[in-house]
Structure 1
Amino acid sequence: MALLFIAKDPNTNGTQCPTAWVDDEAKEIVIQGWKAGEALLERCRETGSIPETEAVLRLPIRMVDALREACDVADRLGVR
């Protein structure tokens, strides 16, 4: 199956907005979100470094249902 679309941010026009998918082959939840600004990155770095291969993304709290659904889909597919 590979990449399964879950949802886009419900409060946007449907393009260029936060999105959630489940990749059952890679066993990952895939998220498109807004890039974190430098102030947020600095606060995140207080917990530890952020490797070049990783990113900090921001999602509106209204995406919680989409993230829960992605987790539920991953569970149903046995993606663990």
Structure 2
Amino acid sequence: MAVEFVGIDPNTDRDHCPTVWVDLEAEEILLQGWTARPGTRSACEATSPANGPVPDGEAIVRLPARMAPMIREACDAVERARLR
């Protein structure tokens, strides 16, 4: 597994740390964030084209918008790895 750190929430208190990594071998973006509140989860499920609720083993994760540059960087890293 080739997991590489991309970035951490710049406003972190080091106890609650939304974080972004990439796994270049698996071509995956890995996110650590806050668990969605029940109302948020319900709203996501209600607007999803998927069938039914979020299944076990999956989660809706919240990340602050200020982390968008890190998420873009992670997407770019996976795309570059795919083109190699």
TM over 0.5: yes
TM-score, normalization: structure 2? 0.84
Match of 1:36 in 2: 36
Shift of 1:15: 4.2
For structure 1, the residue ranges without an aligned partner over 5 or more in a row are none
What TM-score, normalized by structure 1, do the two folds share? 0.88
Aligned residues: 79
Point out 4+ residue stretches in structure 1 off by more than 2 angstroms: 13-16
Output the amino acid matched with 1:57. V
Query: What does the per-residue CA deviation read over 1:7-65, in whole Å, with 9 as the maximum and x for residues that have no partner?
Result: 00011134431000000122210000000010101101102421112000000000100
Q: Give the corresponding residue for 1:17.
A: 17
Amino acid at match of 2:26: A
Aligned to 2:58: 54
